[in-house]
Amino acid sequence: MSRIGKKPITIPAGVSITVGTDLAVTVKGPKGQLVQAIDRDIKIEVKDGEVNVIRPTDQIRHRAMHGLYRALIANMVEGVTVGFKKNLELIGVGFKASHQGNLLDLSLGFSHNIIFEIPKELKVEAVTEKGQNPKILLEGIDCQLLGQVAAKIRGLRKPEPYKGKGVRYIGEFVRRKAGKAAGK
């Protein structure tokens, strides 16, 4: 059995989980509501304040989906209770970030600024403090959407290995290379 798949998910106070007839799990909590479609073979049981994910056989396909759907439902429960955050920082001379509503205006050393539209489900904040690199703070209840948006922002200017310039997650380690002068 999948070690992750067989662990039950405890339902915190204020969270309700319903399994619809259309093979969708709905999680409602204090921060919002999330819906996830479930494969027709996987069974979801909600009882005694716990959610269990059950697979019918030991086929490779069923084993793969067992842990996947358990992790997705656990992320949904965590998202509607606590929420998720991703923090990025811009490292480079002249790199700037500002926001107006859900539009993020990035100056990343290209000829024009990049206007990036953040989905309405997420909150964005651009912070610039004197003497520190500009930071972009993303917050939301959907773990997958948050990670995808953060990865797209990082992909606009990935950190390069020679000077370390670019957009990176706070706490991310960028492996530095020696330039051609170090070889002599």
Q: 113-141: per-residue pLDDT in tens?
A: 999 999 999 999 999 999 999 999 999 99
Tell me if 34 sits within 8 A of 27, measured CB to CB.
Answer: yes
What torsion, rounded to 10 degrees, do the Cα atoms 89, 159, 115, 132 define? 30
Topology of domain 84-169, per CATH? Outer Surface Protein A; domain 3 (3.90.930)
Every domain of the chain with CATH number 3.90.930.12 lies at: 9-81, 84-169
Per-residue pLDDT at 2: 64
Tell me if 92 sits within 8 A of 114, measured CB to CB.
Answer: no
List the structure tokens of 59.
């086929």
Q: Write down the H helix ranges in the chain.
A: 60-81, 143-155
State the Cα–Cα distance between residues 2 and 66, nearest whole angstrom. Answer: 7
Per-residue pLDDT at 183: 64
**Could you tell me the pTM of the whole model?**
0.89
List the structure tokens of 8.
């039950």
Per-residue pLDDT at 181: 80
Q: At the top level of CATH, which class does the domain 9-81 belong to?
A: alpha beta
With H, G, I as helix, E, B as strand and everything else as coil, classify residue 24. Answer: strand
Neighbouring CB atoms inside 10 A of 150's CB total 20
CA 15 to chain centroid, in Å, comes to 21
Per-residue pLDDT at 95: 94
Residues of the chain falling short of pLDDT 70: 1-2, 183-184
State the Cα–Cα distance between residues 78 and 152, nearest whole angstrom. Answer: 23
Angle between helices 60-81 and 143-155 (to 10 degrees): 90
Per-residue pLDDT at 4: 84
Per-residue pLDDT at 179: 83
- Side-by-side strand order, sheet with 32-37: 16-19, 24-29, 32-37
Q: Can you give the length of the chain in residues? A: 184
Instruction: Using the structure block, give the residue that is written with the tokens 């530095």.
Output: 176
For the chain, the average pLDDT equals 92
Nearest to 149 by CA among 158, 157, 139, 159: 139
Neighbouring CB atoms inside 10 A of 161's CB total 13
List the structure tokens of 162.
């020679």
